[in-house]
Amino acid sequence: MYNLQQRANAVFAFFITVLFSVLAAVALSGYTQLALLPEDATSSSLAVRSVHLKQGRLGYYYDRNKPTTELGYVHFGMNADLTRLFNWNTKQLFIYVVAEYTTPKHDKNQIVIWDDIIQTKEDAQIQFRKKEPEYVASDLSGKLK
């Protein structure tokens, strides 16, 4: 009636259909778990401790060909509990702090001053009192004031 090749094709097609159905259910369950989290699931607070402006050069220190520019150093404090964001489908969290300012030419400027990758649930509780920025803030115009 049916030869071996047709039976193997039927078994393989059934296996692929079941596999993709399970994978779709897994992918949707990750989104539904995040959607079911309440608004206050992550308690966090961020406070700017101090802002310092210094004259300097971006890049290599001793490159005298580059013009001097104003460099901003924003020290901040942060308390965050991100443990509820971890579930069976979360491998890592990428978090960052963005400083936002306005200039006469542009209404909205954003600079990332700190970032981190959290890979375990135990590291998801963040507490800083006076954290130094990972990246200095600078503007293309050379002026931050």
pLDDT of residue 90: 83
Q: Give, for all 145 residues of the chain, the pLDDT tens digit.
A: 679 999 999 999 999 999 999 999 988 887 887 777 777 766 778 888 878 788 777 776 666 777 778 888 888 899 988 888 888 778 899 999 998 888 888 888 898 989 999 999 889 898 988 888 888 877 777 677 6
Same domain? For 25 and 75 the reply is no
Count of domains forming the chain:
2
Same domain? For 32 and 46 the reply is no
Q: What is the domain extent for residue 117? A: 41-131
pTM of the full structure:
0.70
Check if the beta carbon of residue 112 is closer than 8 Å to that of residue 97. Answer: yes
Pairwise CA distance, residues 41 & 47, whole Å: 20
Pairwise CA distance, residues 10 & 31, whole Å: 32
